[in-house]
Amino acid sequence: MRVKSLHLENIRSHSETTIPFVNGFNCLVGGLGRGKSSVLYAIDFVLFGDPLSRSYEYLLREGADVGKVTAIFVHGGKTYTLQRALRRHGKGVSQDMEQLKFCENDKLIAGEKNEAVAEQLKALTGLDKNLFREVVWVRQEHLKELLDVTPRQRQTKLDQLFGLSDYEVAWSVLAQFQRDYKVEKGVYERDVDVVGVDKLQGQYNEAAEEFSMIENQLRDLGEKLTQAESALRGATSRLEGLEELRKQTEELRGMEIQLQTNIANIEDTSARLVDENETKKVLIHDLEERLKMMETQQKSNRNKLREVGLNSNQTIEELRRYLFTVEDQMKSMAGEQEATKREMETSQNRISSLITENKCPLCLQDLTGDYKKGLLERLQEENLEREKRLSELQKNLDELESLHSTVNIVVSNLQPLIPRIEETKERIAEEQQFLAKRSAEFENAQQQEKRLRSQLTATSAEIAKFDVTELESARKLRDAAFEHYSAAKSSLEMMERRKRDIALRIDDLKERLDNAQQKIERMEKIGKLLEVIDSIRGAYRSIQPKLRSEFVTYLERTVQQVLDGLVGDAGPVLIVKIDETYTPFVSSEEGYEREVSNLSGGERTLLAFAYRIGLGQLIMQSRTGHGLYMLLLDEPTESLGREDGSVDRLAEAVSRLKAIEQIIAVTHSEAFAEKAERVIRVEKEVGASRVFVEK
């Protein structure tokens, strides 16, 4: 794993900073309080998200509400981007999970949950928070931490990091299992059923034999019950049939009474219908006679019309219109008659005037004798014509009056007669219809009476078939069969209850036997498990020292190699020995052995660095399967001086650690930074850190 770049926004003294890193030795150099260590804090935060203390206050820039760290790193040939952010709320600071993103080549692979990101990061790199903070990141003033603790504390901590403490834990856990199994085995050995399993088996066998005997008895009782049940069903069926027959006979008696009643009612109805039909026939005969008389009168009046030359089939309305026409003619003739009489009177007056005077009655001129004579003759001839006309008019008028009188009398006679004829016809039709209906009803009544009498005869015959004594005999037979069935059923139920009780006892005994057998098998298994546990615990006790010895041998060799590189040819030869508590001892070429506490400050620093490098390689190899590929150093030159060359030797040794893919160191020593492949200077301007890449 190699950090390619780191971007900080409002992290400690950094307002906005981007830092590029390269493979190999990277060194951030600057004075105190410039913001160098903040970069290492930021790397720890962006990778794992957990604060170093209880709060994120140490990370978020003072006065800022939000902060963010974005790291781009390369692992396994792929580029990853990991981003985390902080947000101030009230008096506290917390991680902003909405901005938590873990991407592979710009593709999101985890986010919004710390657990998901941590799981994905560990799957990729093998790193978790504890490994990073204990092995990868050597914090300021923590370089000599493992050298300063007691041997017991050192052994305990390193056993945990190497995973050797798991064997101790397993040994202790197995001891608890061992105690639990022994207790469980003791309980089984004192169990009543386990101790008395043979007696329990005998009780089970006795109960099984009794159960088998009861089953045989149950089969016999079942057969008897089946026979009794069959007899009961036969007796019940016969009784039910007779009861049904009795019920049907009662229904037939009711039906007989009803039939008799219906026949009597039909006879009454038939008599009434006969009387009504006779009455109707007389009434229809009277109506028909009356109709004949009225039709004769109508025919007589119609003949009168025929006698006066009129159509006898005319309606009353047509005859009335004809009367109006005759009346108009009579009025016209009377008017003409009056006019003729007036003309005759005027003509007579003229004649009288001509006879007495010789003047024209019209123009009053004098008339001559011949003219006067001719005029008189003409006037007299005209009067004669008028008299003839009057006579003719009177004759016609008399004929019209006679015709009018005849027609008027006929109309007066026919006007009430015709409706009465129609009414009588309708009445006759209604009465005939009613008579036909009553005749049909009478016929139906006769047929129904015949049918009812036939049913009554059949019903009476069916009633005669029922015998009450047979019903009583069937009832007694059924009661006897029921008593026999009840006794058989009671015996069977009592035996079945006995069978259930024994079955429950057998089940209980079988369950106890099964449990006892399981306990015996479990007890035997526990005995074998206890033997296995003793063997495993012994193996754990023997393997832990062997593995620790192997780790110590490798650690001693690695530390010596790193220390030789740090001391170089210019310094004294320091030979490192490490015991089973991982405690290092240093001896000179002369063979004088010294404890770490007796070394000089520079020697202790060099030894502590070599010790951490060796531990880091070994722990990473045992925990992840690969060596230490990244190292973070915070002020590693503690207690080293430029004069004796120790700083230069440390820087030279760090630059030669090619087994570690990337080293990021923070220092205030310019001499230490000179050996770095990339030097990043950190300055501070107006309260904000700034970085400059020098090489």
Give the whole-angstrom CA distance, residue 455 versus residue 348: 109
Long-range contact set of residues 198-204: C-beta below 8 Å, sequence gap at least 24: 200/509, 200/512, 200/513, 200/516, 201/513, 203/509, 204/506, 204/509, 204/510, 204/513
The CA-atom distances, in angstroms, between 240 and each of 233, 237, 246, 466 are 10, 5, 10, 14
DSSP assignment of 368-381, as one string? -HHHHHHHHHHHHH
Q: 166: which 2 tokens?
A: 């798991």
Give the H or E element holding residue 128: none
- Reported residue count of the chain is 695
Rounded Cα gap, residues 302 and 381, in angstroms: 46
**pTM reported for the whole predicted model:** 0.49
Burial class, 244, CB count within 10 angstroms (exposed 0-12 / middle 13-18 / buried 19+):
exposed
Alpha helices in 592-637 (DSSP H): 601-624
pLDDT digits (tens, 9 = 90+) for 216-234: 888 888 888 888 888 888 8
Rg from Cα positions in the chain: 74
SS3 159: helix
The ranges assigned to domains in the chain are 2-141+599-693
pLDDT single digits (tens) 483-519: 888 888 888 889 889 889 989 988 998 888 888 888 8
Q: What residues of the chain score a pLDDT lower than 70? A: 141-143, 163-173, 358-368, 536-542, 566-572, 588-591, 638-645
**Can you give the pLDDT at residue 96?**
93
CB atoms within 10 A of CB 686: 6
- Residues 4/53, Cβ–Cβ less than 8 Å: no
Helix axes of 601-624 and 151-162: crossing angle, nearest 10 degrees: 30
Q: Please, which residues have CB within 8 angstroms of residue 624's CB and are 6 or more apart in sequence?
A: 125, 126, 127, 131
CA distances from 29 to 26, 129, 199, 631, 678 (A): 10, 26, 89, 16, 11
What is the C-alpha to C-alpha distance for residues 182 and 174, in angstroms, rounded to an integer? 12
pLDDT for position 61: 93
CATH topology for 2-141+599-693 is Rossmann fold (3.40.50)
